[in-house]
Amino acid sequence: MQPSRTSRPKSAILAGLVALGCIGLAVATPMLALVAVAPAMPELSADYLDFVWSITKFTLLQAGLSTLLSVLTAIPLARALARQASFPGRQLILRLLALPLALPALVVVLGIVEVWGRQGWVSTVMQGTGLAGPLNIYGLTGILIAHVFFNMALAARLLVASLEQIPPENWRLAAQLSFTSGHVFRHIEWPVIRSVLPGIASLVFMLCIASFAVVLVLGGGPKATTLEVAIYQSLRFDFDPPRAVLLAALQLALCAGLFVLGGRMATDIVVMSGVGKQVRRPDQAASRRTDTLVITAGLTFIALPMLAIVLSGLAAPFGVIVSQSVFWRATATSLVLALTAASLSLVMAWSLLAAQRTILRRRQPSRAASAFMSSMQASGSLILVVPPVVIGAGWFVVLHRTGLAGSAAPVIVAVVNALMALPFALRILRPAVVGQAQVHDRLCASLGLSGLQRWRLIDLPVLARSFALAFAFAAALSIGDLGAAALFGSADFVTLPLLLLQKMGSYRSVEAAGIALLLACFCLSLIWMAEQLKTEAQSQ
């Protein structure tokens, strides 16, 4: 029994080392490549530097305003939803709030234009009533609408989850003291909101800084460009790596700075603990009318663009779409990428966690082991500091220098997508892998199970659901990704979001609507399957 017990931990640590090395390589290679082309910097003109300064300011401005608006609208919505525990369709509304983040950004943009564009529903109504002229969606306005759509829903869900954690004694006390709504907010709700708000706000800010598809389509020109989009343009429009280096360095500095400042960022975005507890509250009846109003308004804002996606999608000429070979190639490419990225992400997450589990078993880990441990933990959230477009830009430079751009592009996109999914995969798998270890270690030791045998008989059955859940999330993320794929897109390499962008660009909007609906269905069915697995796993 002794030999097998020592051989397994070693291989687990080795796997962890390999995973860590691969992640390091995948991120460090492009960084080095960007540094290598940096000497060409003097080519940057004063005009261009002025432009870079303007878009840096704009990047921060739009992210700041988006965060402010998202959080300010999320607070009343979350309060209303938490207070009205028996609101009709509340569970459905809470699930609806989870949808925006699961949808590919490009698809959402299409829905938003349909509702808020100059020819959209809102403009039509406004012009019909003669209240105002058509809305101008291009520029800051459109970017803010889209970002609030994504992040108000996210923030509200996170806030509802926190508000539901308030112990029932507090409500009993509030009833005895006959608290008004204002008292409840000041003494009970606000302290809870305040404690989670910095984490939520910094998460939203980070997501808005790195937002790509929204700004690309709704920006409407240089005036409303962000660093993320400018990196893409410097490579795809100008083919000018030194410019990409400057922009990537700025973007990196912004993200790293924010990560340090907002260390408490809520990374458990999609893997949130369940919401939807029914808490009886004394202030429910009194505020019913205003809450209904707030919930209806929030719901309308979230539901309209989704409805637009479905309606215009259903009217699309699917016969034309499916008759195009490029559609089938794009679908197949997207699926292959998603499967590869998700598998890669899971393998990396498993290797890291298995190594961590092995180290945690030791009573007194050596200093080297502790350092290894913390670097493994940090590697998981690396992608939040180093945006995918920056990694992609670096690899873009490497591949074009080596002439491998055509053949290696899909591999790089898959790797970048896998890295994007890694924080979530780790989050989902950690409790299962590390937590279960303590429970099963002794059992396995007494049965003499180890290595593959243990993996097959003990670990796999327990982990299967978590694995499937992580896999579905990673695949959905990869299918909807535009940023990494956009850098490498070519006639031979088209993904579904890229095809959608092309169709929008050539103004085949009816075909675009159909592809958008299909893309949304892909992502939602993956997330739906994941949700089913999660509830099953929880009820076990």
Partner 1 sequence: MLRLLTVVFAVLMAVALPASAKDKLTIYTYDSFTSDWGPGPKIKASFEATCKCELEWVAVADAVATLNRIKLEGASSKADILLGIDTSLTAEAEATGLFEQHGISTENVNLPVQWTNKTFVPYDYGHFAVIYDSEKVKTPPASLDDLVNGDPEQKIVIQDPRTSSPGLGLLLWIKAIYGDKAGEAWTKLSRRVLTVTPGWSEAYGMFTKGEAPMVLSYTTSPAYHMVSESTDRYRAAGFPEGHYMQIEVAGILKSSQNKKLAREFLAFMTGPGFQDHIPTNNWMWPAGKTSDALPDAFGKLVKPAKSLLLSADEVNANRKAWIDEWLKATTR
Q: Given the rule CB under 8 A, which residues bind partner 1?
A: 45, 47-48, 50-51, 54-55, 58, 117-119, 136, 138-139, 220-223, 225, 233, 236-239, 328-329, 331-333, 335-336, 339, 400, 403, 405-406, 490-492, 502, 504-507, 509
Q: Which is nearer to partner 1, 52 or 458 (CB)?
A: 52
By beta-carbon proximity to partner 1, the closer residue of 298 and 489 is 489
Q: How far is the CB of 190 from partner 1 (least distance, A)?
A: 40
Residue 45 — φ and ψ, nearest 5°? -80, 160
Residue 351, both tokens: 């290797």
Tokens describing residue 38 = 């940096």
For partner 1, the closer of residues 220 and 276 by Cβ is 220
Residues 198, 201, 207, 209: is their CA dihedral positive or negative? negative
At closest approach, how far in Å is the CB of 223 from partner 1? 5
Structure tokens at 532: 């089913």
CB atoms within 10 A of CB 308: 23
Cβ proximity to partner 1: between 229 and 348 the closer is: 229
Judge contact between 71 and 204, C-beta under 8 A: yes
Q: With respect to partner 1, which residue has the nearer C-beta, 332 or 371?
A: 332
Q: Shortest approach of partner 1 to residue 178 CB, angstroms?
A: 55
Sign, CA dihedral 504-509-511-512, equals: positive
Q: Please, which residue, 207 or 214, has the CB nearer to partner 1?
A: 214
Q: How far apart are CA 56 and CA 228, in angstroms?
A: 10
Contact yes or no for 44/245 (Cβ under 8 A):
no
Contacting residues for 358 by C-beta, under 8 A, at least 6 apart: 9, 12, 13, 16
Q: Are 202 and 257 in contact (CB under 8 A)?
A: no
- We find the least distance from the C-beta atom of residue 243 to partner 1, in angstroms, to be 10
Judged by DSSP in three states, 103 sits in coil
Which is closer to partner 1, CB of 118 or CB of 440? 118
Minimum distance of partner 1 from residue 287's CB (angstroms): 42
Q: Can you tell me the distance from the alpha carbon of 131 to that of 333, in angstroms, rounded to the nearest whole number?
A: 47
- In the bound state with partner 1, the residue whose beta carbon lies nearer, of 165 and 402, is 402
**In the complex, least distance from residue 502 CB atom to partner 1, rounded to whole angstroms:** 8
Backbone angles phi, psi at 97, to 5 degrees: -65, -20
Strands (E), 363-435: none
Residue 537: partners with Cβ closer than 8 Å, 6 or more residues away: 465, 466, 469
Min CB(220)–partner 1 separation in Å? 4
For residue 69, give the amino acid letter: L
Closest distance of CB 520 from partner 1, Å = 20
Closest CB to partner 1 among 331 and 351?
A: 331
Minimum CB–partner distance for residue 454 and partner 1 (Å): 20
Question: What's the rounded Cα separation, in Å, for the pair 127 and 144?
Answer: 22
